Amino acid sequence: GDSVTQMEGPVTLSEEAFLTINCTYTATGYPSLFWYVQYPGEGLQLLLKATKADDKGSNKGFEATYRKETTSFHLEKGSVQVSDSAVYFCALAPQGGSEKLVFGKGMKLTVNP
Amino acid sequence: DAMVIQNPRYQVTQFGKPVTLSCSQTLNHNVMYWYQQKSSQAPKLLFHYYDKDFNNEADTPDNFQSRRPNTSFCFLDIRSPGLGDAAMYLCATSRDFRDDEQFFGPGTRLTVL
């Protein structure tokens, strides 16, 4: 079945450091890919998404590119801030709809000043 | 702003005492989902409604039930909460299965004493 594998962490970085969170997926066809962020004590918020190969999603300085050839959707940010401390989930929606979002296990990021 | 609202944000119940969690949405979306998220884990889909059609995940315990009296509201009923049911419960919506983005509420954190 469909699955998502991502770095689990936890990861601690200093402010202004470069961030990469790896995410790879297994799915048939062309799923849609997402990064969700969960701040402490809150629900999930969509950070960015991509719906077809070579699409780049971007938001709040974060970027991820849908790579069909490597089945990857790695999240990057050039300079993290303390406010980026959160748990990051990679997810996919199977081709044809979002009836079942498949999540990775999540990665907790802490950014220190 | 259109949104997904969950009440209460924090719920404490006693072992075996029924509890109901509430979700409402102003997005006028057709699909509503309930997820259970335990500490440091990914959200786990319990069930969803497409309009009035109820779809239960195969591994959702019978102890969990749901009601959707109208488009805007959806309830999660836990008939006899056990200690293992302590978790964050997340409600989400999507416009349609052909629309691949889910919008999440802030969650209700359930404590079972």
* Per-residue pLDDT reduced to its tens digit, B49-62: 999 999 999 899 99
Measured between CA atoms, the residue of chain B closest to residue A100 is B45
pLDDT band (50, 70, 90) for residue B28? very high
β-strand pairing of B10-13 with A107-112 = unpaired
- Asked if B4 contacts B104 with a C-beta cutoff of 8 angstroms, the reply is yes
Q: Please state whether A29 falls in left (phi above 0), alpha (psi between -120 and 50) or beta.
A: left
pLDDT band (50, 70, 90) for residue A41? confident
Which pair of structure tokens corresponds to residue B73?
A: 């509201």
Confidence at residue B54, expressed as pLDDT on a 0 to 100 scale: 93
Confidence at residue B2, expressed as pLDDT on a 0 to 100 scale: 63
DSSP string, chain B: ---EEEE-SEEEE-TT--EEEEEEESS--SEEEEEEE-TTS--EEEEEEETTEEEE-TT--TTEEEE-SSSSEEEEEESS--GGG-EEEEEEEES-TTS---EE---EEEEE-
Answer yes or no: is pLDDT of A7 > 90: no
Provide the greatest CA pair distance for chain A: 43
Q: Judge: A101–B45 Cβ closer than 8 Å, yes or no.
A: yes
Confidence at residue A95, expressed as pLDDT on a 0 to 100 scale: 82
Confidence at residue B100, expressed as pLDDT on a 0 to 100 scale: 67
Cα separation of B79 and B61, whole Å?
11
DSSP A82: G
Answer yes or no: is pLDDT of A98 > 60: no
Q: Judge: A98–B40 Cβ closer than 8 Å, yes or no.
A: no
β-strand pairing of A19-21 with A75-77 = antiparallel
Answer yes or no: is pLDDT of A73 > 80: yes
* Average pLDDT of span B82-100: 88
Nearest to A97 among B45, B98, B103 (CB): B98
* Interface with B, mutate which of A99, A107, A108, A109 (most B CBs under 10 A): A99
Confidence at residue A106, expressed as pLDDT on a 0 to 100 scale: 94
Mean pLDDT in chain B?
Answer: 92
